[in-house]
């Protein structure tokens, strides 16, 4: 069996050791034989979680634009018509005089302009952080999707290689079954060896059946992550000539907390909370706005048909100043509350730093142990091959029993499976290390 395919598995992951290329594929761009890069690109374009994050980012931009639109002039128009069944009256000294006419109508065009408004100041200050927060949420979704798709890709490849190993074992066992039957028929041995070979063959074929069925599930899971239709034919493509040395992670690279997207998200939240504190202080400021309107009035006692024969225009320009003086200490309490929330986020930052450091240490320790297990498993595969080949020759010469041969066969298959499991563990471990270091990134818009 050849194990050189593992080098590509490390090299094809986008963004490991460098910033990932955020070039998305079209829905029809996923070929039947897809590389890891193509699977990741397709997932970033078609997977629901990523697309929802992108939509949320666009919704956030619209929310910001909506909030900032309050700085623009607000223009409105309204009109009315009234028929005074009883004309209102007013008293002038001892006389009661009717004021108004039977038919009245008006049309008003008005423009309002905010000059000073605490809520609009807050929206202006927070706009860039809200956009950044939404972009970071999208970044986080892309990172998680890249890792998930890559692990699923590796898992499928590992299972396919495991099936190849089992097929090789079945071929050997069938040969042994034929040899055992020939020995039995010639009277060299009893039927025990033949029956043992039959049992081993049945167990191995059952193992293959189980692995094949699990592979169907793993392909379905990969398709789910990628976002491709379940009926779309998919095979994985990889280059087995890549160097194994590319699987190595620089274990001396220092953790830089600020590169982690989770830390960046919390810093953005901290900035937004600081702006909220400032807003509560700004509520002591007055609200200042200006307005201008132009109106047309119509009135007559002659009847509705002549109401609009003559208009009486009017126009007003003004400034409105509103100063909240006392609100029962509500604003003071909101300021104190917001400051406490700022302190809470400060503690969240401290706690997150400790968690991210622990995640890094765990990922690095797991990767190192998995790498050691992989090296050991690789050596064991070569040793078990030598042992099997030796015992097979000795069995053919009648020196070793069939039980010894079956034990060597089982040991070989076990070491080969252990090798693949160790390989997958290293692949997943490297992904975890790269994510813990913050090395899987995308360009934030």
Tally of CB atoms within 10 A around 339: 15
Residues 16-35: what's their mean pLDDT? Answer: 56
| Residue 267: inside a domain | yes
| SS3 assignment, position 81 | strand
Range with the poorest average pLDDT among 1-10, 77-86, 136-145, 311-320: 1-10
pLDDT mean across residues, the chain: 87
Distance CA 409, CA 407 (A): 5
The dihedral formed by the CA atoms of 189, 192, 197 and 203, expressed in degrees to the nearest 10: -170
The residue that leads in pLDDT, 120 or 22, is 120
- Phi/psi-derived region of residue 197, left when phi > 0, alpha when psi is between -120 and 50, beta in every other case: alpha
The set of residues, in sequence order, having a beta carbon less than 8 Å from that of 92 and lying 6+ positions away, is none
Question: Is residue 141's pLDDT more than 60?
Answer: yes
- Tokens coding 28: 């029809």
The CA distances from residue 223 to 8, 72, 216, 404, in Å, are 21, 48, 11, 44
Instruction: Evaluate whether residue 44 is within a structural domain.
Output: yes
168: in domain: yes
Q: Provide φ and ψ at 166, rounded to 5°.
A: -65, -40
Backbone angles phi, psi at 106, to 5 degrees: -150, 150
- Percent of the chain past pLDDT 90, that is, above it, reads 56
Instruction: Supply the pLDDT for residue 269.
Output: 96
Residue 102 lies in a domain: no
Q: State the pLDDT confidence band at 340, using cuts at 50, 70 and 90.
A: very high
Q: How many distinct structural domains can be found in the chain? A: 1
Residue 109 domain-assigned?
no
Q: What is the CATH number of the domain that holds 281?
A: 1.20.1600.10
Is the residue at 91 inside a domain?
no
User: What pLDDT score was predicted for residue 246?
Assistant: 60
Q: Give the range of the structural domain holding residue 56, as residue numbers without chain letter.
A: 6-76+116-287+327-437
- The DSSP 8-state label assigned to residue 22 in this structure reads -
Residue 348 maps to a domain: yes
Task: Write out pLDDT tens, residues 230-240.
Answer: 888 888 876 54
Report if residue 294 sits inside a domain. Answer: no
């Amino acid at each position: 069996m050849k194990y050189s395919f593992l080098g590509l598995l490390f090299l094809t992951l986008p963004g490991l050791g460098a910033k990932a290329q955020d070039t998305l594929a079209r829905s029809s761009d996923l070929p039947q034989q897809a590389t890891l890069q193509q699977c990741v690109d397709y997932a970033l374009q078609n997977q629901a979680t990523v697309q929802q994050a992108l939509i949320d980012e666009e919704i956030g931009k619209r929310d910001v634009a909506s909030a900032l639109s309050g700085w623009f002039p607000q223009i409105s128009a309204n009109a009315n018509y009234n028929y005074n069944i009883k004309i209102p009256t007013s008293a002038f000294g001892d006389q009661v005089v009717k004021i108004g006419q039977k038919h009245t109508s008006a049309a008003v065009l008005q423009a309002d302009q905010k000059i000073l408004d605490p809520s609009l100041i807050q929206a202006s200050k927070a706009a860039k952080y809200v956009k950044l927060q939404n972009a970071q949420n999208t970044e986080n979704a892309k990172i998680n999707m890249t890792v998930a798709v890559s692990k699923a890709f590796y898992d499928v490849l590992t299972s396919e290689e495991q099936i190849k190993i089992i097929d090789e074992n079945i071929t050997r066992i069938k040969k042994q079954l034929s040899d055992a039957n020939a020995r039995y028929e010639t009277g060299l041995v009893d039927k025990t060896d033949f029956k043992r070979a039959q049992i081993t063959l049945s167990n191995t074929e059952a193992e293959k059946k189980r692995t094949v069925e699990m592979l169907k599930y793993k392909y379905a899971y990969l398709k789910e992550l990628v976002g491709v239709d379940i009926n779309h034919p998919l095979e994985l493509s990889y280059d087995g000539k890549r160097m194994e040395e590319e699987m190595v992670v620089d274990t001396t690279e220092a953790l830089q907390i600020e590169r982690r997207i989770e830390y960046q998200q919390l810093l953005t939240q901290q900035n937004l909370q600081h702006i909220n504190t400032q807003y509560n202080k700004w509520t002591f400021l007055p609200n200042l706005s200006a307005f201008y309107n132009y109106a047309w009035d119509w009135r007559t006692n002659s009847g509705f048909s002549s109401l609009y024969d003559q208009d009486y225009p009017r126009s007003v320009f003004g400034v409105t100043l509103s100063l909240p003086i006392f609100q029962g200490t509500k604003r003071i309490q909101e300021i104190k509350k917001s400051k406490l929330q700022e302190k809470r986020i400060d503690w969240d930052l401290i706690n997150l730093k400790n968690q991210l450091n622990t995640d890094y240490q765990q990922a690095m320790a797991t990767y190192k142990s998995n790498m050691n297990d992989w090296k050991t498993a690789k050596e064991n595969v070569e040793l078990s091959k030598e042992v099997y080949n030796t015992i097979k020759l000795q069995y053919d010469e009648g020196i070793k029993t069939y039980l010894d041969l079956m034990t060597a066969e089982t040991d070989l298959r076990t070491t080969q499976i252990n090798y693949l499991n160790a390989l997958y563990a290293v692949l997943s471990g490297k992904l975890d290390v790269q994510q813990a270091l913050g090395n899987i990134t995308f360009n934030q818009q």
